[in-house]
Structure formats: structure tokens, C-alpha cells
């Protein structure tokens, strides 16, 4: 995390811009048949060219052996140590949906799911409904709860595919609750229980909500239940602009990532529906701000599905767009991930994430490649994610000298 003394070195905004491109779930592991990772398999001429003219290394997101969730991982990228900011993914999803979360609110990330008559989870993503179907389901749920649920005010916020957000508003809604998600298909739903006495009322409210919600969804062929995760309220953090002297904007198609950006005080630039729209937003708004966070989701989705070929294809999709980022002429262009999601693992992992930082002040290796093994000898070595922002500021000449 940036030290208070380092913060004192931050200079006033200058005309030197920073772009942080985050490929969700970027890192991988060797395919059992080829011995090559997803990055080593993909055709990435632009990213390899960029790596050969960038400072490079591998980024440790939390600490050795610790697998990060996406929310804490993005906080670390932005320079906030995830151990020191207490929050759950629910608050980030709500903020990313442009919902005005209030102190005392309780938010949870939700998945529509397919549940059998015994309470066993058959499909944690309810066959991935379309965004339009998601909106229909959320409308049905919200309408059905009006007449059936009175313990607290409830807001149902549509998301993408199977994802949505539930916000509870009322007194004494402590967030110390476990998820009802068993994390694996073929397992029974878990009861939502309090983790401390102060959360007993919240557990009762959420339990009654789930009972009513399952009644409303009982006739749905796929999305007949839900999984709730990441119960949380609204945390307090030092705003990004105050920490770094940057006017910052966030561009992301998925609400959770817009949420973590809003949490730290970034300006969210619209609600793009695709990566093409994200890049177009960046190009259109580039003259307005100093720092841009751009998020790409599909590498992580392919990793969770275990679809090696799809992850390779998504990496190649990003590679084809890299010249458009370069054409904007940022002083610093960073390409990294928030964590690794190897296809052979199908989950987030603890492996360090390949990272490149291109600037006129970069110490580069001409033989570097944008791969896990191709950056092992880079000048950044294995560094902590919370060091990324000070490095970006230094490369943009936005840190003054320490001492005489």
C-alpha cells in the first residue's frame, strides 16, 4: 500500500496520462498435452512487441499462496491493501449498478441457479440466461416480493447473464453472514447464518427473503433459485484522486468492476456492453481525465469454464486492439490481470500475474514475451500489486524526489 510519505511526493496533475488495462483472470498454467499456457499458445504479436519495450514482471496480488477474489484484487491494483479494506462483493455489485448504497444497507451478489427438489444445486449459473432474460427474472422477483416480503425494503438490481444484486434496507442489518452458495454443483444449499450475535437479525431477514424468493421462482424451468454471496455494507476509503492526484475514470462492462471503481472515487464512464464499446468510450473521453482503468472480462469467464481454446481466442481479441491503446499516446500503458484463472484449475489461483508497464522510462528486454515465463526475467521481478500505482506514478513523472 502506498506509504503516507510516498503520498506526499505526488505532484500536481500534468499532461501525462496513464492507462491500466486489466485482463480478468489473465494468468494460466500449462496445458497437459502441449506444456504451454494460454498466453504461450495464443498469437499475440502486439502484446509481445509491447512486452519487448516495457518494464515487465509478475505481480503478486495478495501474498504467496493466497487466492484473491476479484474485488480485493482490484483494490490491490488501485493501491489499497485488501486486508485493510473490509468489504464484500455485494457492495461492489450494487455500486456498479449505479445504485445509491447508503450506510446501513446490506448488499449481496446473487446468481440465478437451478435447484432440485432436495435443495441440491444442479447449475450454479442457471444455464447462463441472456441479459434480457435476467431483466425479466428480476422484474418478476421484485413484483412478487412486494406482496410477500415485509421484513425490510428490498431492491433487486439486474446484472449480466445469471448475475444480479440484492440490497436490503432496514435497521440492524449486520453484514457478518455466510454465503448460501456451496461453490460446487451437486451440493446442497447452505443456510445463511450469523457469524456474530449482531448479525442474527440480518440472518433472519435474509432467510425469510430466500423463502419468499424461491416461492416466486418455483415455476421457472432453469432459474428456480438463487445463490447469495459477499454480504457487505458500504466501506470507507481514502478517495483515489486524493491519494494520487489523478482524475480517474473507469470503463467496464460488468457492474462489479464499475462498483470497485466507484468505491475508490473514480468516475464511471458509462455502461458499455462489449469490449469494443469500452475501447470506443476510452477514445471518446480520453481528453477529459488523467488515469483510465479499462476492464476485460472474457478471459476469466473462459478460465472458469475450463475452455482453453476460448481463453486463447479472447487473448487474441485483446491483442488485436492494443494498437488503439497505443495510438492514444499515454505516458504509461500497463497491461496486467487481477488474478490468474488457469483453465486446468477452473478457479482463481494464487499464481503471480504477468504484467508489463510501457513508458519512456522503462528498462526493457528485447527478448521479453507477454507470457508467464516470458516475463520471469523482467526488471519488475515478482512485485506486490499495491506497488503498481507508485510505479505508474513514477513512470509518468508524477512523483517528486524523496529527500535532498
* CATH 2.115.10 fits domain 93-232: no
Q: CA 400 to CA 378: how far, in whole Å?
A: 25
Name the grid cell of 272: 458499455
Share above pLDDT 90 across residues of the chain, in percent, rounded to a whole number: 80
Count of Cβ atoms closer than 10 Å to residue 267 Cβ = 15
Q: CA 331 to CA 383: how far, in whole Å?
A: 21
The pLDDT score that the predictor gives to residue 401 is: 84
Share above pLDDT 70 across residues of the chain, in percent, rounded to a whole number: 95
**255-263 vs 70-77: helix axis angle to the nearest 10?**
40
Q: Cell 433459485 sits at which residue?
A: 225
Q: What is the pLDDT of residues 165-214, one digit of tens each?
A: 999 999 999 999 999 999 999 999 999 999 999 999 999 999 999 999 99
Q: What is the pLDDT of residues 296-324, one digit of tens each?
A: 999 999 999 999 999 999 999 999 999 99
Beta pairing partners, 101 = none
The pLDDT score that the predictor gives to residue 39 is: 98
Q: CA 298 to CA 97: how far, in whole Å?
A: 19
pTM of the predicted structure, to 2 decimals? 0.75
4-84+237-395 and 93-232 in the same fold? no
Name the grid cell of 104: 446501513
Angle in degrees, CA 309, 351, 364, rounded to 5: 90
Name the grid cell of 280: 470506443
Looking at the predicted structure, is the pLDDT value of residue 381 above 80?
yes
Task: Give me the helices (H) in 117-234, please.
Answer: 131-146, 200-217
Residue 192 phi, psi (nearest 5): -85, 115
Taking residues 354-373, what's their average pLDDT? 97
Beta pairing partners, 352 = none
Residue 145 phi, psi (nearest 5): -75, -20
Taking residues 45-60, what's their average pLDDT? 98
Domain boundaries, the chain: 4-84+237-395, 93-232
Mean pLDDT of the chain: 92
CATH superfamily for 4-84+237-395 is Alkaline Phosphatase, subunit A (3.40.720.10)
Which of residues 92 and 353 earns the better pLDDT score? 353
Amino acid at each position: 500500500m502506498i506509504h503516507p510519505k510516498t503520498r506526499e511526493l505526488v505532484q500536481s496533475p500534468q499532461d501525462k496520462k496513464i492507462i491500466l488495462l486489466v485482463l480478468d483472470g489473465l494468468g494460466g498454467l500449462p496445458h497437459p498435452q502441449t506444456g504451454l499456457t494460454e498466453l504461450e499458445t495464443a498469437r499475440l504479436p502486439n502484446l509481445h512487441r509491447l512486452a519487448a519495450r516495457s518494464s515487465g514482471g509478475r505481480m503478486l496480488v495478495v501474498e504467496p499462496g493466497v487466492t484473491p477474489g476479484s474485488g480485493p484484487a482490484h483494490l490491490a491494483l488501485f493501491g489499497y491493501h485488501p486486508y485493510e479494506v473490509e468489504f464484500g462483493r455485494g457492495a461492489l455489485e450494487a455500486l456498479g449498478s449505479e445504485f445509491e448504497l447508503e450506510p446501513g444497507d446490506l448488499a449481496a451478489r446473487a446468481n440465478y441457479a437451478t435447484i432440485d427438489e432436495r435443495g441440491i444445486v444442479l447449475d450454479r449459473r442457471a444455464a447462463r440466461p441472456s441479459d434480457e432474460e435476467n431483466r425479466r427474472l428480476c422484474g418478476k422477483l421484485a413484483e412478487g416480493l412486494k406482496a410477500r416480503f415485509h421484513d425490510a425494503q428490498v431492491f433487486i438490481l439486474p446484472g449480466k447473464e445469471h448475475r444480479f444484486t440484492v440490497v436490503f434496507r432496514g435497521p440492524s442489518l449486520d453484514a457478518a453472514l455466510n454465503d448460501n452458495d456451496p461453490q460446487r454443483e451437486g451440493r446442497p444449499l447452505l443456510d445463511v447464518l450469523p457469524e456474530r450475535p449482531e448479525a442474527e437479525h440480518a440472518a433472519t431477514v435474509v432467510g425469510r427473503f430466500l423463502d419468499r424468493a424461491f416461492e416466486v421462482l418455483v415455476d421457472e424451468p432453469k432459474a428456480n433459485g438463487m445463490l447469495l454471496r459477499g454480504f457487505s455494507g458500504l466501506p470507507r476509503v481514502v478517495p483515489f484522486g486524493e491519494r494520487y492526484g489523478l482524475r480517474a475514470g473507469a470503463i467496464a462492462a460488468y457492474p462489479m468492476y464499475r462498483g470497485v471503481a466507484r468505491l475508490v472515487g473514480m468516475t464511471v464512464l458509462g455502461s458499455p456492453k462489449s469490449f469494443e464499446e469500452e475501447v470506443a468510450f476510452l477514445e471518446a473521453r480520453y481528453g477529459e481525465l488523467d488515469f483510465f482503468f479499462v476492464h476485460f472480462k472474457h478471459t476469466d469467464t473462459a478460465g472458469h469454464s475450463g475452455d482453453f481454446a476460448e481463453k486463447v481466442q479472447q487473448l487474441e481479441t485483446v491483442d488485436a486492439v492494443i494498437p488503439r491503446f497505443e495510438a492514444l499516446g499515454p505516458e504509461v500503458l500497463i497491461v496486467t490481470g487481477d488474478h490468474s484463472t488457469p483453465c486446468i484449475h477452473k478457479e482463481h489461483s494464487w499464481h503471480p500475474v504477468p504484467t508489463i508497464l510501457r513508458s519512456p522510462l522503462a528498462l526493457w528486454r528485447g527478448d521479453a514475451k507477454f507470457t508467464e515465463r516470458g516475463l520471469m526475467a523482467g526488471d519488475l521481478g515478482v512485485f506486490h500489486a499495491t506497488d503498481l500505482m507508485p510505479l505508474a506514478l513514477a513512470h509518468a513523472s508524477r512523483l517528486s524526489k524523496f529527500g535532498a
